[in-house]
Structures are given as C-alpha cells and as structure tokens.
C-alpha cells in the first residue's frame, strides 16, 4: 500500500446555467489543468461545487493529497466564502495550490491591500473608501482623474470606463460611487487614475525562489484621444465591445531596462508584502514622469490558456504542464500531516493485562497470535500479515494504527484500525485477535474500548467492523453485540458458499 496518495483533486466553482463569461471562464482553466495533469501522468479527479459546504464534503470524502484550487466564488457571488477553501484543505490535511486564505482575503479587499503595500514602502495611488450611506469626502479638485471601483470584486466587475472614470469631483463622481453601492452592495474605492500605461507582471514560485516572468503591457494605442485607458469589464468579457478587441497584450513590454528592473522589484515586493505563494499577478500603472504605482495584487489569477498568466509562462519558455506540476509539488511540500493526537500511554486494564501501542518488536508475537487463532484461513492470515507490516512500516501515513494487549510482557492480543477511505470521520476495525489461553479475561473488550477512545480523540463519529458469518466467528460476533455494536448489513455468501459478510457499526458519542 502506498504511504501517501499521489492524486490531485481539481476543485472549481461550477457556473450556473447561463452564467456570464466572467463566471463560465473557469471551465477553460479546468480543461487546461486537467490536460496538463494527464500529460504529466498525474492521476486526478475533477469536481465542480456550488457552495462551501459542498466543497468541504467533496474534499473530505476523497483521498487526494493535493487540491488544485480553481474556486473563484460560490453561488450567489459569495467570493468571501471562496477564500476559505485553502484553510478548509489545511484542516483536512490536504495540500492546496495557490495562495493561502489570509492572502486571498487580504487581496480581495483593494483598500486593505493598498494599506499593506504602503506600509511596506510600495507606491500606490491615493484614494478613499466610501461605504454605503456615507457622503463622498472632499477631494482635491485638480488631483484627478479619478476611477471608482468596488472594494471587494475581481475580474474588473463593476468597472465601466465611461461611468467609472471621472475627471474631477462633482455629480458624475457621486453617481459613480452610488452605482457601486446600489449594484454591488459594497463600499466604493475612489482612486486617482495615475498614468496612461498599464503593466501586468506574473510571478511563479519555483524551486524555492520567486521568479518574475516577462512583463506585459496593455496596448491602448487604438483608443481615441480622451478615452480612459483602463481595462474595464467590457475589455475583458464583452466580445462586442470596442475595448475587447483593442486592448492587446505587448509581451515583453517595451520598457527601458531601468524601468523594467524597477517593475520587477516592485512586483516582487508586493508578492512578499501580501504573503503570496505559488503564483500571482501584480498590476501596475506607469505615469508619464516614469513613476510606478502598484494597482493591485491578483492572488490566484486566471490561468486559462488565453489569459495573461499563461501568456507570461509561454514568454518565459515554461511549458504549461510544468507550471501545473510545479504548483502541485509546492502544495504537496506544504501539506501538513494529519493531526492525530499522541497515542494514549499504556494502561493496565485488568489484573496483569496492559494495553499499549503496537511496536516493531511485537511483529512475530502478533503473527503467532494470528496463526494460533485456529479461525483464519491461510489467505486471511496473509492479509493480516500485510496489514500488520503496513502498520509497522508506514503507520498513520498508510492509514493504519495498532494496539497490543500484554500479560507479563507477552503479547496476547492485537487490534488494528484506521480511517475508512472516502468517508467523513468513520473508522474501520480491521483486526482484533486474542490468544485463546487468556480469553474470558476481558482482553478483547478492553482492546475495543481502547480503539474507540483513540478514534474518538481524532473526531471519529462511527466505527465499523466487517467479519465472517461462519460458525467459527460466532464468539466474535457476540463480542461486538455486547460492546454496543449492531449488525447493519449482511451480504450472503460473499466470502464463500455458506460464508456471509457481516457488517457491524457503532456510533460514538460526540467528544470535545
């Protein structure tokens, strides 16, 4: 049995029927990532979800070591809940690609991000936040033009060049703020629109270092004089709009080397300031006087084949499949092991009977127990040996835990258990064997109780036992019933003619 699952779960937000292109675009990302995983021979599963609880259930029931996170929002536009996906993965001991929950939460809020960048000495444009119901504060009359955008939205949602960009304070600026309040039900960021050139810088964490990929520039040369040079919603998503067809990407950007060096320096500084991991895109504005301003940090940017990040990868001669492998490897390396409480210490459970964790030195005595039980067929004994060896060699990484009961230091009982794959907080008791010479001393009952105590501390809600329906197993079945288990299923003659598979289960009391 493998010590660690190598599969990847590609998790994405499933667009609603008739969703806008900005929402449905995630499907192109899914297809590209899936193709890259297939090309790399990485086994994977793809799942679309609509809500955070659905995402939790989808991740919890799978055994994948890594979640490739393409969730951008949930049904009803709940982008705030989407930032919880990395934390949810960490809680389930899964690696998660892309940026962390704190980073995603920070960069979702443009105003907070500006504050953090400013504290790190990174230049940003002046601006003010206007919350619903608040009056527009006084602004310097000649400091514009101004651009009004939602504080917590991405993909240029809520930005309309004609209505969002205003030359000076007045009714038009107030109307732009009111539109954000009314249409998006959130605060508006009123920000100076600095410069006429916009730069996009993609960054990739690879080999323990942060690489700045070739710089891109948005080409506004086809825009008529006086038209705001911004990438608004129409430029990204409305195929019939002028801006959609006249904002090509110049890659690499035509910049003097000194300016390009400063751009790379600021992009890398912004990455570290907000705590990025794996990949991100930093957008900047270049003023006519050569000064640079960081516009925003896009954590987990669009990685569809026609998006800016994929174009930057191509310009850097990094194959898309290599990018996918890189972030999967990063996520696997960050993956925290499942948090299991330390094993309970050995305990005396009866006169001279001690229950303690299984140790490598117990192997031969446990195998002798199995052989001497006079119940198990040769093939069953071989399975017991495999489970025992996996428990000793790989332990929790293989999903096996072992206990033994001893009398005067001699092993007289063995129990092996572990979490059930593709279940939520359910455990399986794989084996319980007791030396026939010491039966009726409560050793099997003590082993079962200890197993239940151990898994309860791990948050288990249920323990299941699969056993044989043969007469030779009657004592074992009676034991399970006495210990509070009940027969929940029976598959007639599954093991052999006249040998049913019998399943017992017990629900555990909730533990703090």
Structure tokens at 196: 């006429």
Domain limits at 441? 347-507
**Is 460 contained in some domain?**
yes
Q: What is the CATH number of the domain that holds 483?
A: 3.40.630.30
Of the residues 104, 137, 152, the one at which a domain ends = 104
Q: Would you state the pLDDT for residue 341?
A: 60
Q: Which residues pair with 454 in a beta bridge?
A: none
Helix (H) or strand (E) holding 295: strand 292-299
Q: Would you state the pLDDT for residue 38?
A: 92
Best CA proximity match to 208, nearest among 321, 329, 69 = 329
CB atoms within 10 A of CB 227: 15
pTM of the shown model: 0.68
The total number of structural domains that make up the chain: 2
Contacts of 51 (CB under 8 A, 6+ apart): 74, 75, 78, 81
Q: Give CA–CA dist 361/388, Å, rounded.
A: 12
What is the residue-averaged pLDDT of the chain? 86
Q: Give CA–CA dist 230/252, Å, rounded.
A: 19
Query: What is the three-class DSSP state of 501?
Result: strand
**Is 378 contained in some domain?**
yes
**Is 219 contained in some domain?**
no
pLDDT over 90 (residue 436): no
Of the residues 104, 120, 140, the one at which a domain ends = 104
Mean pLDDT of 56-82: 78
Q: Which region among 109-118, 195-204, 230-239 has the lowest average model confidence (pLDDT)? A: 230-239
Describe the strand order of the beta sheet including 8-13 as a list of residue ranges: 44-49, 8-13, 66-70, 95-96
Q: Give CA–CA dist 323/84, Å, rounded.
A: 24
**Is 252 contained in some domain?**
no
Best CA proximity match to 87, nearest among 96, 79, 75 = 96
**Is 272 contained in some domain?**
no
Q: Give CA–CA dist 303/301, Å, rounded.
A: 6
pLDDT over 50 (residue 27): yes
Top mean-pLDDT range of 106-120, 155-169, 230-244: 106-120
pLDDT over 50 (residue 512): no
Q: Would you state the pLDDT for residue 336?
A: 67
Of the residues 104, 122, 153, the one at which a domain ends = 104
Q: Which region among 4-18, 87-101, 160-174, 463-477 has the lowest average model confidence (pLDDT)? A: 4-18
pLDDT over 50 (residue 432): yes
Q: What is the CATH number of the domain that holds 46?
A: 3.40.50
Mean pLDDT of 153-180: 82
| Per-residue pLDDT reduced to its tens digit, 302-344 | 999 999 999 999 999 999 999 999 999 999 988 866 555 666 6
Q: Which residues pair with 419 in a beta bridge?
A: 427
Q: Would you state the pLDDT for residue 81?
A: 65
CB atoms within 10 A of CB 289: 7
Q: Give CA–CA dist 85/97, Å, rounded.
A: 10
For residues 491 and 439, the answer to whether their CB atoms sit within 8 Å is no
pLDDT over 50 (residue 3): no
**Is 129 contained in some domain?**
no
Q: What angle do CA 220, 222, 228 make, to 5 degrees?
A: 50
CA 195 to the chain's CA centroid: 37
**Is 144 contained in some domain?**
no
Helix (H) or strand (E) holding 345: none
Helix (H) or strand (E) holding 432: strand 426-434
Tell me the C-alpha to C-alpha distance, in Å, between residue 344 and each of 210, 389, 403, 426.
43, 22, 10, 20
Q: Would you state the pLDDT for residue 200?
A: 94
**Is 212 contained in some domain?**
no
Mean pLDDT of 184-197: 88
Q: What are phi and psi of 144, to 5 degrees?
A: -75, -170
Q: Give CA–CA dist 499/107, Å, rounded.
A: 60
| Per-residue pLDDT reduced to its tens digit, 276-289 | 999 999 999 999 89
């Amino acid at each position: 049995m493998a010590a660690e699952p190598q599969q990847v779960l590609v998790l994405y937000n499933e667009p609603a029927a008739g969703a806008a292109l900005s929402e449905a675009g995630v499907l192109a990302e899914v297809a590209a990532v899936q193709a890259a995983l297939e090309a790399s021979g990485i086994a994977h599963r793809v799942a679309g979800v609509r809500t955070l609880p659905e995402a939790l259930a989808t991740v919890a029931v799978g055994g994948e070591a890594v979640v490739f996170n393409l969730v951008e929002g949930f049904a009803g536009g709940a982008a705030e809940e989407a930032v919880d996906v990395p934390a949810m993965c960490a809680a389930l001991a899964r690696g998660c690609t892309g940026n962390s929950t704190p980073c995603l939460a920070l960069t979702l809020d443009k105003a907070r991000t500006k504050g953090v960048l400013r504290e790190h000495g990174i230049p940003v444009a002046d601006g003010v936040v206007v919350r619903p119901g608040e009056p527009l504060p006084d602004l310097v009359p000649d400091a514009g033009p101004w651009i009004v955008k939602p504080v917590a939205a991405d993909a240029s949602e809520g930005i309309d060049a004609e209505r969002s960009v205003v030359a000076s304070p007045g009714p038009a600026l107030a109307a732009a703020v009111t539109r954000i309040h009314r249409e998006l039900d959130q605060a508006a960021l009123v920000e100076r629109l600095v410069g006429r050139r916009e730069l996009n810088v993609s960054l990739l964490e690879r080999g323990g270092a942060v690489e700045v990929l070739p710089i891109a520039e948005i080409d506004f040369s086809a825009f008529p004089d006086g038209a705001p040079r911004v990438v608004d919603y129409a430029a990204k998503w409305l195929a019939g709009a002028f801006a959609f067809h006249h904002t090509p990407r110049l890659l690499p950007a035509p910049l003097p080397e000194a300016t390009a060096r400063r751009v790379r320096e600021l992009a890398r500084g912004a990455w570290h300031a907000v705590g990025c991991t794996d990949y991100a895109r930093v957008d900047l504005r270049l003023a006519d006087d050569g000064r640079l301003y960081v516009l925003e940090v896009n954590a987990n940017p669009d990685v569809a084949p026609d998006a800016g990040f994929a174009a930057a990868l191509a310009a850097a001669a990094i194959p898309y499949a290599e990018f996918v492998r890189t972030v999967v490897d990063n996520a696997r390396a960050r993956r925290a092991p499942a948090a299991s409480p330390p094993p309970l210490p050995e305990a005396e459970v009866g006169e001279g009977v001690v229950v303690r964790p299984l140790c490598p030195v117990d192997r031969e005595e446990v195998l002798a127990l199995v052989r001497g039980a006079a119940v198990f067929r040769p093939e069953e004994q071989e399975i017991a040996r495999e489970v025992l060896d996996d428990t000793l060699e790989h332990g929790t990484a293989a999903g096996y835990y072992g206990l033994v009961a001893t009398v005067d230091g001699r092993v007289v009982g063995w129990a092996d258990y572990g979490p059930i794959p593709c279940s939520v907080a359910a455990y399986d008791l794989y084996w319980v064997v007791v030396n026939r010479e010491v039966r009726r001393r409560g050793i099997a009952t003590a082993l079962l109780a200890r197993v239940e105590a151990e898994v309860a501390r791990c948050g288990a809600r249920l323990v299941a036992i699969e056993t044989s329906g043969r007469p030779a197993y009657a004592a074992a079945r009676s034991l399970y019933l006495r210990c509070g288990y009940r027969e929940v299923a029976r598959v007639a003659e599954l093991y052999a003619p006249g040998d049913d598979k019998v399943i017992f289960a017990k629900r555990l009391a909730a533990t703090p």
